[in-house]
Chains A and B, each alone.
Chain A
Amino acid sequence: MRPYIIIRYLGFILLLNALFLLISAGIALFNNDSSFFPLLYTGIVALLFGIYPLMIIPTYEDITYSEGNTIVISGWLISCVIGAIPYIIWGGEFSITNAWFESVSGYTTTGASILTNVEALPKGLLFWRASTHWIGGIGIIVFVLALLPSSNYSTLVLYRSEVSSVAMRQFKMRSKDALNIIIYVYVGLTAAQTILLYLFGMNLLDSVSHSFATIATGGFSTRNLSIAYYNDIWIESTIMIFMLLSGMNFALLFAVVIGKFSSVKKSTVLKYYLLANLAGILITALNVHGANYESFWDSLRYSSFQILSVGTSTGFANADSSVWPAFSQLVIIFFTLQCACAGSTSGGIKTDRIIIFYKTLMRNIKRTIHPNAVFNIYIDKQNVDETKVSVNNIFIITYLIIVLISTALLTLLNIDLLTSFSGTIAAMGNVGPGLGNVGSLENYSGLHYLGKWILSIVMILGRLEIFGIVILFFPKAWK
């Protein structure tokens, strides 16, 4: 492994962060708020650290896959470190642990906050907090690659290291073209939502911040009561539509934009995603009707927002779901584990893997009946390679094992089981709110500091889809 190549690409990542830090500092300066220096200073440090390797190290195009993987993981880690610095310098509720947690939660688009009073933050820092979502939403490396005029080979290596393996099935084009599609859809959705939210009465900063958080499926709000603060059906509907869109595979969204509806019509994953969410909304609405809300309209309004919010791993709230009946909470837990489609900005196990897992299960039942028959797994009439099926199922098992270990560690810190379990799956799936003490209108400030460190590791594992980060612990990967 050649460290200088990794340092060079980290330079690009730092420059991307510096750009958003300096924009945030500009907003702080415009509003004359106290976050100006923390943002400016961190921006300058990131800029200097980013620019120097680019000045010194010449361009290398022959990146190996282990180097690509290291660039991606160290890129995420270094971004989380840089992202925490403005919080630490600014002070307030941010201790080192809290700042790290908030930064990791931002970049991994988890949206779990330690802040008890979000509205006390200055505008510059609120924008920076939302920016971490937007940078992390499509992946830091994807963002950098889309901006960089790098060779096809290095782009391919880094793209494969960053983008989920199950997502690539939908992107049947050159990696540079796939990156362009992702960027177009991402920026387009963000711009469209910002305009709509602004038209429905949000101020510009709130519109941009909530759009960043929605399209990145993050969930950081600029208000203590999240979306419940606005109590506006138009704002909620807009956010719901964009949450649903952000949970879809971006290649499919792009196909719709350019008028290719055939790929959308035959997409099993998309059909399952939409039907699962619809079913989840309806059964939750029926369950909370009478128990929490008098009218069915209210039940439908709150359940649809909450289910879509966790089902796309966004994490906004317009109601307190921790007081809902146990069955509704179980539905929320299911969607927190599953989340949305691969190739979107969503976290969690993802619907694609759930379908493959389901088909493997059905195949095993068929094999029990017909032991000598050969059954292949097909999705959208395409055969899914046996290695991918195996990796898929191992991923789900490893995912659940990590959830189990993290829950056990949190309970050792005297955190109740519901909070530990729901907090872990919310962190692992990059959803944000859980149940119990970390419910949709609560926050993570009350957790033990070790609990915050455990959950931040879980967030990174979830965002980098486990294996990439685990590989780094094997010395052979360093050769």
Chain B
Amino acid sequence: MRQLGLGLAVVAAGLAMALQTARADEELPIGVIAAQSGSFVSAGNTIVGAANLAAQQINDAGGIKVGDKTYKIKLYIRDNRTDVNVTIAAARELVNDIGVKAIWGTETHDFSVSMAKITGPAKVLQFSGNSSLGAVLDDKAVAEDGWLHYTFQSEPQEWQRSGSTAKGVLSLLTPQLKSPPKHSVVFVGNDATGQYLSSHYVKALEAEGQKVDLVQYPPDTTDFSPLLTRIKGMKPDIVHFWYNGDSTLTAFPQALKLGVAPSYFLFGVDPGIYQERSLKADVPVTMSCVPVCWGSSPYPEVKQYFDKYFGLGAAKGPQSSVSLLYYDYFFWYAKALEKVGKIDDPDAVVAELLKSDYKGVVSPVPLVFNKHHQVTFATEVCMVEPNTSDKFKCAVEQPPAAPPPGDNGG
């Protein structure tokens, strides 16, 4: 009986200590706004998946030590339903009702821009993956009193990505074709992101010596055959599908049936999903991922990342690799908070992010933000052998040093 009493006392003391430890951990509220439903769900799911994994790993490792306190990340995830009004309402809620310190998202240029007009005045950091933010991230916008001072673009500048992608695609496809490719057709959705991305990619292909035709399709197109037939009449050497992975996965089989071109490039389609869906083509097909691909990468840390990412229940989508545009930045943000020693000094955190670097899964060299709050890293381009779904040859292409002629950067 006495032993039982002693045991109970020990258990009680242990519980009390555990409770005390739990009380010592403060909460760091972080918001995530992403499309978990609606037409951008494939991209939106990657933000949520990356946030869940990063928060779990940071918390499991003991949290973030800021000054004499330890903070555990508490995620507030909001579905924007691919609707700008819901995005705004969610941003207001996270910023004003909950008081988050930073927000990750969204997947769409328009939504991210509208959101930045709420996060900026509230001095809440915003990490968005849209490279099209390059159109608005300039000296004035990111200045201390600028409306994008607290916004960071976690995707490389588009001329960099376009340059490395174009180079990688051409170097992989050229040996596969009877003669070096000279004529490319860029087939892209005619929306904000599509227009922005293709404007850079066309210049990048031209810089590589390609004659380029641009064909745009209305967003939400499902029957691509009229446009693809038109493209076939142009006799291209390569058709480049940009940028929406879901649309590409609808259009690509139609192109194969019509025999539109002797080779293809699929943007926004991971090798992993190509394999999952058992897609096959009798011609060489290339894919690219920023930063690294799911389903083919030879790097062990990338494989580990995707095992953990999917292990946590993330959906296998056409662009699961996009999750890496969000994952590393949690750790980088945590590192900046620890360095600053305060969670309520966003200006100091911004300054710290701009002068620090972070070596994550994304890149073999540490990530660095430039003066316009944009990062630089390489692109992985893979080619699947004809008539196979899982035999990939991949290469990492570094971004060019400068924008090609006619591209003003951004």
The reply to whether chain A is a binding partner of chain B is no
